[in-house]
Amino acid sequence: MKVYENYSLLHHNTFGIDARCRRFIEYETVDELRQALAGLRERPDEPFLHIGAGSNLLFTADFPGTILHSAIRGRGEAGADADTVLLRVGAGEVWDDLVAHCVDHRLYGIENLSLIPGEVGAAAVQNIGAYGEEVEKFIDRVETIEVATGEERVFAHDECRYGYRSSFFKGEGRGRYVVTHVVLRLSRRFAPELSYGALQKEMDRLGMHEPTAAELRRLVVDIRRAKLPDPSERGNAGSFFVNPVVSEEKYRELSARHPDMPHYAMSGGVKIPAGWLIEQCGWKGRSLGPTGVHDRQALVLVNLGGATGRDVVALSDAIRADVRKSFGIDLHPEVNFI
Ligand code: EPU
């Protein structure tokens, strides 16, 4: 177990915000995690936070307590049948390394989730998704340690209560459980999900019809690289807002004014891409102080260099105010403000 005091978080958040925490603990085993949690219980007045790779966080100030980070690694088969393989993966594994491993070992399903930054534990908490797939579809169960007791609790898929970018661990269970391992159910048969517009468009452009898993992974990687800024060059946390879902009535009112507005029918209403709303408000490629809106995907806010979390919040507030004024829609951050 590694313990650091008064520690800079600069390399633990992809936004590149130079905030500090009082204590930073990185553990490699479940036993070390239990020890760390026991230590936290002795300091009940101090806040604590568990982070992954910090690819969905915005530090708006220094953190006055302990930050925990998992270095639990490893992947191993946890069962198999004729069609599927269960793969048990440590929460501290890098998500995209896992996707690459699966493609190399003919374990299929998660190719569309290639290059999503972050670690496996956080992927299961956030229900990461891209190009028509969400990770929950492949999650068999999630192994956790309960913060209050140090006891193990395994959540079956249905107990994780997954929704669009949401889960029990992000909602009601927030701060109560630490994910140690995720068990994924992968297929031995490659049955790609190719219906997402941007994938179709790129396949048409390349004259590609039946991609292999490796080709599909490469395609997704190329699309992401073309649209999304590389956090090592320009700090960002991917999509800054969730895509809003509006009522049918609201949708009809908006589409009368904006017949070209992209939209997706959902069970509870109509989803409108937040990136489109932001672009319509003239924010795409614009900057505010040391922050800006990415010029190729308006849903991504970037650190132009040396920004603080408060600078990013100021940009977020300005965008939200404009979208509210022009469309009567309240955008909600997808990124967690700390
Ligand atoms: N659009 C614009 N202008 C923009 C960006 C988007 O008009 O600047 C419109 C376009 O019409 C486009 C539509 O929005 O057709 C959808 O855009 P895109 O395919 O880029 O997807 P998104 O809805 O903006 C979501 C996820 C991304 C994920 C992509 C691909 C959320 C909050 N974001 O973005 O996830 O990679 O779909 O599946 O759901 C992330 O969570 O960090 C992330 C990058």
Average pLDDT per consecutive 10 residues, the chain (338 residues; last block may be shorter): 97 97 98 97 94 96 98 97 97 98 98 97 97 98 97 98 96 97 98 95 95 98 96 95 96 97 92 98 98 98 97 98 98 96
Pocket of ligand 1 (CB under 6 A): 130-131, 197-198, 238-239, 242-243, 262, 273, 275-276, 279, 284, 297-299, 334
Please list the active-site residues: 165, 239, 334
pTM of the model: 0.94
Query: How remote is the CA of residue 167 from the centroid of ligand 1, in Å?
Result: 21
Residue 73, by phi and psi: left (phi above 0), alpha (psi -120 to 50) or beta?
beta
**Cα–Cα distance between 188 and 219 in angstroms, integer?**
21
**Cα–Cα distance between 188 and 282 in angstroms, integer?**
46
Nearest to 126 by CA among 74, 168, 184: 168
Query: How remote is the CA of residue 299 from the centroid of ligand 1, in Å?
Result: 7
Query: How remote is the CA of residue 179 from the centroid of ligand 1, in Å?
Result: 28
- Give the per-residue pLDDT at 288: 98
Q: Which atom of ligand 1 approaches the CA of 242 most closely?
A: 32
**Cα–Cα distance between 85 and 79 in angstroms, integer?**
6
> What would you measure as the largest C-alpha separation in the chain, in angstroms?
61
Specify the residue with its C-alpha closest to ligand 1, atom 36: 130
- Give the per-residue pLDDT at 298: 98
> In what helix (H) or strand (E) does residue 325 lie, and over which residues does it extend?
helix 309-327
Ligand 1 mutation target, pool 195, 228, 261, 276, most atoms within 8 A of CB:
276
Query: How remote is the CA of residue 293 from the centroid of ligand 1, in Å?
Result: 14
Query: How remote is the CA of residue 229 from the centroid of ligand 1, in Å?
Result: 13
- Give the per-residue pLDDT at 267: 85
CB half-sphere exposure, 118, CA atoms < 13 A: 24
Specify the residue with its C-alpha closest to ligand 1, atom 3: 276
Q: Which atom of ligand 1 approaches the CA of 298 most closely?
A: 8
Q: Which residue has tokens 């307590």?
A: 65
Nearest to 197 by CA among 91, 276, 258, 94: 276
